[in-house]
Amino acid sequence: MKFRRQSREEVSINLTPLIDVVFLLLIFFMVSTTFQKDRPLQLTLPSSSATVEEAPAQSIEVSISADGQIAVNDAVLADAQLVTVKHAIEVAGKGDTSLPLLISADASTPHQFVVRAMDAAGQAGYVHIRILTSEGE
């Protein structure tokens, strides 16, 4: 007796709806994400009436808190000595002294810490130094 073989249908999964869902999730997360730079030190910048410029993409940022803690590119330093600050700036710049150096100090920071950061930058060879402020009234 000759039996007829049943034809088997090929089993497949349609990936098009899955890809659509993944793209929709990707778009949702891209739109809903906020790109805010978190700082390790909480700063209240002094106000200024000068025009606000956009910060350059490649730069070294030195942050100084009200109690004198210093952070270079979001890395908090162990102490605020001149040698430590100078070394941290040199490491962050990787030998490129043409990069702009941005100093953001709290409004109530003692002047000595700002001068120390500027002195360390000068000794490291940086000449493009900016002091960041918030926009005034």
Q: What is the pLDDT of residues 7-34, one digit of tens each?
A: 777 888 888 999 999 999 999 988 888 7
Overall domain count for the chain: 1
Residue 65 lies in a domain: yes
Domain region containing 110? 56-135
Residue 129 lies in a domain: yes
- Residue 32 has a pLDDT of 86
* Higher local confidence (pLDDT), 80 or 2: 80
State the DSSP code for 58. Answer: S
Residue 126 lies in a domain: yes
Residue 12 CA: distances (Å) to CA of 6, 7, 15, 16, 23: 18, 16, 9, 12, 21
Rounded to two decimals, the pTM is: 0.62
pLDDT tens by residue, 109-129: 888 888 899 999 999 898 888
Residue 61 lies in a domain: yes
pLDDT tens by residue, 63-107: 998 888 999 988 888 888 889 999 999 998 888 888 899 998 888
Residue 73 lies in a domain: yes
Residue 46 lies in a domain: no
Residue 16 lies in a domain: no
- Strands 129-131 and 101-105 turn out to be parallel
Closest among 61, 57, 58, 59 to 72, alpha carbons compared: 61
CB distance 126 to 99 below 8 Å: yes
CATH value at residue 122: 3.30.420.270
